[in-house]
A = this chain, B = another copy of it.
Amino acid sequence: ALNDAGLETADSLYVSNMLADELQGQKHLGALIADEAGLSGIEALNVRAATASGAAALRAACQAVASGMVETALVVGVEKMSAAEASPVLAKALDAEFEVPVGATVLNQIARLMAGYLERYRPPADALAHFSVNAHANAAGNPYALYCDRQYSPADVLASRLIEAPIRLLDCAPICDGAAALLLAPAGHPRAGRVRLVGSAAATDRFRLSDRPDPLRLRAIERSTNLLLEQAGVRRADIDLFEAHDAFSITACLSLEAAGFAAPGTGWQLALAGEIAPGGRLPMATLGGLKARGHPIGATAIYQACEIGLQLTGRAGSTQVPGARLALMQSIGGIGATAISHLFSA
């Protein structure tokens, strides 16, 4: 990121990571990364919001630069999940007192959402599969994608192994290792690039799924999207591409609905109609998304932001969204207790 910006160092470092406490025994990644990157001396903070940690770090860095208290901010996301069993650690995004002790896991909570959706709206059997199909098709053009060489049909998704009913293997983003970095500088900075971060908003919802009046309504996504669009003076129709938190096909679908791009129960129709493909009305997962590029949690949103940078500068290769000028990016913490939305323009 520094090389790309033509800078030797930055004023500050914001690090995003979710699992290193347990998986690498490391709770002080900011200062460690600053030192290992040869930047010792600069300030370094760690920012988190469970599975939305990358977006949390980006938002804090954005506020830091906007405050004028720092000029340039490096944002680094990193996760190394291959070393150990990550699932029990991921469950710490849930309520340790009232959910985990009675068996809640991220997977079975998401399965509740998917089962509830299928039961309430009764979409075609392959309705949600199209999110995964699109993500894998787009990853083929991305050399940085974990699955840059696997194409699937809706039938493949439906035939894949049942993980936690009704979630199948190909509904899930993979556990993997990864890192991404970007540099934020104020508008007018001599090294400022062509991509602008034009909005940032975050919100929470009731923490436990069981406390929400309608679990299929991701209200933190609703709130953060509305705040963001109002702040930036942008209409939904102006948005050229949408990098959603497609950790599961159902979260991609519910995100479309909560963000106001589709009525409740109809998000899958956009996928089925090809509207989320690079040439469609609202391209999604344009370089593979969490599903096929990979979902190294702390790195994910930074990865998404970098990919959006490629799209907005016409460097996205075979899945370039023609004329992309405005991109929405969203991250979900836990089962939607946190949502953070960012808007980028070229």
Contacts and interface: CB of A to CB of B under 8 A. Distances in A.
Contact of A202 (B45, B91, B211, B340): B45
Contact of A338 (B31, B36, B100, B200): B31
Contacts of A62: 67, 69
A193 B304 CA distance: 41
A130 B208 CA distance: 49
What is the oligomeric copy number?
A: 2
A12 B47 CA distance: 14
B49 A46 contact: yes
Interface string A332-346: 011001101000000
Interface stretch (A22-30, A142-150, A273-281): A22-30
Interface in A63-105: 63-70, 89, 91-96, 100
A47 B64 CA distance: 13
Contacts of A165: none
A21 B22 contact: yes
A94 B25 CA distance: 9
A205 interface: yes
B49 A45 contact: yes
A53 to B, nearest CB: 8
Given A25-B96, A26-B92, A63-B69, A334 B31 contact: yes
Interface of A: 12, 18, 21-22, 24-28, 30-32, 34-36, 40-50, 56, 59-60, 62-70, 89, 91-96, 100, 200-208, 211, 219, 223-224, 333-334, 337-338, 340
Q: Which of A36, A66, A70, A202 has the most CB of B within 10 A?
A: A202
Contacts of A42: 203-204
A303 to B, nearest CB: 19
B337 A35 contact: yes
A27 B31 contact: no
A30 B48 CA distance: 9
A36 to B, nearest CB: 8
Contacts of A219: 41
Contacts of A47: 45-48, 60
Nearest to A336: B31
Given A40-B207, A42-B204, A202-B43, A32 B95 contact: yes
7 contacts: A26-B96, A40-B206, A43-B204, A44-B202, A44-B338, A47-B48, A65-B67
